[in-house]
């Protein structure tokens, strides 16, 4: 069992064991998390998302190096997909960042999505709280490379970087999927390949259009997303990328937008917890009743169809005052 004081001191073994408890949904996790929560809220959370193979992990590796040059302590959560067949997973993102494994100011945690859609896993949010309380200045989160629909990261991160590569029409795809709205920094990686400038140009135009749309409806200060070219393999352009993320964070702080982000995040977090806890409470209450078993038996013997059965259970067993 990890000790709170060790986690707060940044002890990696204690932090790692805490994260394991969270991931397993252990009943020991919540009481510890409650104690860690007041110590969180200081880290700058950056999300990195984009289609499979665009170079997210390689870019994270290069970003770690840049942030270390700026004397920041870095934690990484790298999410990879679980196999829908076996429930197992190969967590391969870390492979690209292994040169930082023995740097004491870097903590890397691989995580399987475990059936969660949206590019993260259920445990990601709580894990970020632990890493934040451990004192890391920056938390970098790599989502599953699923291509579209990884919006969850935008509600968790202060800054979201969307990675694409030259000449894949990713820009157009992004507009269709609505990804454009969630990006704060757009990265055209593998700029050693032909077509990088054209991709940068196309993305810049689309962002211009997006901003004209939102400026009318929202008069508060607005961050203009930047489009940057990188070659993650050798770090070209990554110094500028690191500075861009940091200046975005400064922008948020200067305009009191970090508080707003925090409030939005906490509300979302509260609602999703409420969902989980209510569901669990109701389910365990219902399942404890002999009526529940009786209904289950009726389904198995075809005396009752599943729809009527579910309606019957909800209507007769949950009494709302």
Binding-site partner at residue 53 among Mg ion, ligand GTP, another protein, none, CB < 5 to 8 Å by type = ligand GTP
50-58, 105-113, 168-176, 200-208 -> range binding Mg ion (CB under 5 A): 50-58
Structure tokens belonging to residue 85: 């067949």
Query: Interface with another protein includes 68 (CB under 8 A)?
Result: no
- Comparing C-alpha atoms, which of 110, 156, 105 is closest to residue 272? 156
- Comparing C-alpha atoms, which of 207, 216, 135 is closest to residue 175? 207
Query: Interface with ligand GTP includes 96 (CB under 6 A)?
Result: yes
**How far apart are alpha carbons 259 and 319 in whole angstroms?**
39
Query: Interface with ligand GTP includes 82 (CB under 6 A)?
Result: no
Measured CA angle at 60 (ends 192, 54), to 5 deg: 45
**How far apart are alpha carbons 167 and 177 in whole angstroms?**
18
CB burial readout 232-262, b (16+ within 10 A) else e: beebebbbebbebbbebbebbeeeebbeebe
Measured CA angle at 268 (ends 264, 274), to 5 deg: 145
Instruction: List the one residue from 55, 119, 161, 183 that touches ligand GTP (CB under 6 A).
Output: 55
By beta-carbon proximity to ligand GTP, the closer residue of 88 and 219 is 88
44-52, 77-85, 136-144, 186-194 -> range binding another protein (CB under 8 A): 77-85
Residue number, nearest CB to ligand GTP: 145
Query: Interface with another protein includes 107 (CB under 8 A)?
Result: yes
For residues 232 and 62, the answer to whether their CB atoms sit within 8 Å is yes
By beta-carbon proximity to Mg ion, the closer residue of 111 and 123 is 111
Nearest-approach distance from CB 178 to Mg ion, in angstroms: 22
Structure tokens belonging to residue 143: 């989502």
Instruction: List the one residue from 231, 246, 248, 252 that touches ligand GTP (CB under 6 A).
Output: 231
Nearest-approach distance from CB 163 to ligand GTP, in angstroms: 7
- Comparing C-alpha atoms, which of 146, 76, 91 is closest to residue 117? 146
Query: Interface with ligand GTP includes 239 (CB under 6 A)?
Result: no
Q: Please report, for residues 50, 79, 92, 97, 112, the alpha-carbon distance to residue 82 in angstroms, rounded to integers and kept in the order given.
A: 18, 9, 12, 20, 5
Contact positions with Mg ion (CB under 5 A) in 173-232: none
Nearest-approach distance from CB 119 to ligand GTP, in angstroms: 10
Query: Interface with another protein includes 26 (CB under 8 A)?
Result: yes
Residues that bind ligand GTP (CB under 6 A): 52-58, 93, 96, 145, 189-190, 192, 231-233
Residues that bind another protein (CB under 8 A): 12-13, 16-17, 19-20, 23-27, 82-83, 85-92, 94-95, 98, 101-102, 107-110, 112, 114, 276, 280
């Amino acid at each position: 069992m990890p000790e709170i004081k060790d986690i707060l001191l940044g002890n990696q073994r204690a932090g790692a064991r805490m994260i394991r408890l969270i991931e397993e949904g252990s009943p020991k996790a919540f009481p510890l998390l409650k104690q860690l929560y007041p110590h969180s809220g200081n880290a700058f959370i950056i999300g990195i998302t984009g289609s499979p193979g665009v170079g997210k992990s390689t870019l994270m590796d290069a970003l770690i190096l840049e942030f270390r040059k700026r004397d920041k302590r870095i934690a990484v959560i790298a999410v990879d997909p679980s196999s829908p067949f076996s429930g197992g997973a190969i967590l391969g993102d870390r492979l690209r960042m292994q040169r930082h494994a023995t740097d004491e100011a870097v903590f890397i945690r691989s995580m399987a999505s475990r059936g969660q859609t949206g590019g993260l896993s259920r445990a990601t949010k709580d894990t970020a709280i632990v890493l934040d309380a451990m004192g890391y200045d920056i938390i970098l989160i790599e989502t599953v490379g699923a291509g579209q629909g990884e919006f969850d990261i935008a509600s968790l991160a202060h800054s979201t970087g969307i990675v694409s590569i030259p000449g894949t029409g990713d820009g157009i795809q992004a507009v269709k999927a609505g990804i454009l709205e969630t990006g704060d920094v757009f990265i055209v990686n593998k700029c050693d390949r032909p077509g990088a400038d054209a991709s940068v140009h196309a993305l810049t135009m689309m962002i211009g259009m997006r901003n004209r749309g939102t400026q009318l409806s929202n008069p508060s200060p607005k961050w203009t997303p930047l489009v940057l070219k990188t070659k993650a393999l050798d770090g070209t352009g990554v110094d500028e990328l690191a500075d861009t993320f940091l200046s975005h964070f400064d922008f948020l702080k200067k305009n009191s937008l970090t508080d707003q982000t925090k409030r939005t995040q906490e509300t979302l977090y509260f609602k999703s917890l409420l969902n989980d806890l209510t569901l669990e409470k109701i389910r365990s209450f219902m399942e404890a009743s002999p009526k529940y078993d009786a209904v289950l038996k009726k389904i198995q013997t075809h005396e009752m169809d599943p729809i009527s059965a579910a309606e019957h259970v909800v209507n007769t067993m949950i009494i709302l005052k």
